[in-house]
Structure 1
Amino acid sequence: MTARSVSRFWEWGRKIVCVGRNYAEHAKELQNAVPAEPVLFLKPPSAYVKEGSPILVPAYSSNLHHEVELGVVIGKGGTAIPRSSAMDHVAGYALCLDMTARDVQEECKAKGLPWTRAKAFDTSCPVSEFVPKERIPDPGNVRLWLKVNDQLRQDCCTSQMIFSIPHLISYISEIITLEEGDLILTGTPKGVSAVREHDELQAGIGDVVTMTFKVARQQ
């Protein structure tokens, strides 16, 4: 992935493929079964938001949750990518938040409906600056952390993921062709909780990259 294409990715974005319940303790804290295969859902490019702009609480939700995640940026597209060569398709990484309207998600789950209203709204995917893959030589063993108003809420290592990054790339590409600039959110560890208007969220991938966002309510 060239510097120009990386710049274009952050400028307008590509599709976002998200993995749910990829940490056993997070699945348990929401009283979900630990999955035998990856749980996938999508966010549109309009979900992206970068530092300097707020995370907006949807007007239809009163229980917005943070979920910190390691994002994998695809640098070379492919279909049915073997696990053995999956990392060759990675350009780098990003720190991401999967903002979730938990009250809406619970309603959707109870009715057997898709999670789109809970997961895909505008500003539901805050992202950091792009991190070249050379800066994270072992993405399967990095610390993810998140604070709300300077209080630590999530703190975990990616070594606790159920499905590894090569596994996820291979699995997703069997279903959805991956393209240059696509972003994979690899799941969140335990510790998710509600945020409210005026809260400040700080998050990081170890000491590699950090980001800060304010929460506002959609008008």
Structure 2
Amino acid sequence: MENRLLTQFNNVIRTQWSFTQFELSYEPLIPKQLFELAYHTINSVGMRNIFIKQSSDETKEGSHTIFYSNTKKFTSIEALENKLRLTKYFPEETTGDKLINEVKPKLEKRKLSFSSKKNELKTQILKIILVERKLDQCANFVMLNEINRKVYFAIGDARESAAVVPIFMEAEGSSLIQLALNKWMTNVQNLDQEKPFPDNLVPGLLKNLMQIKKWVLNLVDNVLDK
């Protein structure tokens, strides 16, 4: 299905809207690590991820993602050759001040904090952010009325990604999340896989996904910032 927000971003927003921007060097992290930390730091329940491209080499540039907020602003995260670039595009009579005043210092702090953590903990944090991304992907598919097969596999990816992360599985509430994801996998599996996800099921699935996303965001915050 057509991603109208992405089309609007590429054709209009990127070239015609006002924006604020900052860049951050990767060191002492690698591009993938800082990109994932930025993804999480930008993200919230009110954010919709409308595009993501991952570099095939986690030590190289090339990753890019775009968020659309419930305040009708767009945020781009780009992994460039030696630095990460975050750009917030905003409509007239609004600002992108939050990017500079809140996101930038928080990301800088998390970059240093993450670099000092043990490798095993770093790996688990990145794997939980992967779950976060998979939930976002699923929500975007649902809002785009993508076919059931894509929605089914997105839910499955989120569930399977979570199942291999000890911190996730040991956290209070994780069993309920796995049950909810299992329920939706079963529901979607029983639908015609090549037909669009049914409109009547959209509110229920989105509500569950946002509840789960809120839980995951809090989990990452707690592990990342302590």
Q: Same fold (TM over 0.5)?
A: no
Which one has the largest radius of gyration? 2
- Considering Cα pairs closer than 8 Å and 6+ residues apart, tell me whether 1 or 2 has the greater RCO: 1
Name whichever structure is richer in strand by fraction. Answer: 1
Classify the TM-score, shorter chain: under 0.3
**TM-score, structure 2 normalization:** 0.24
**TM-score, structure 1 normalization:** 0.25
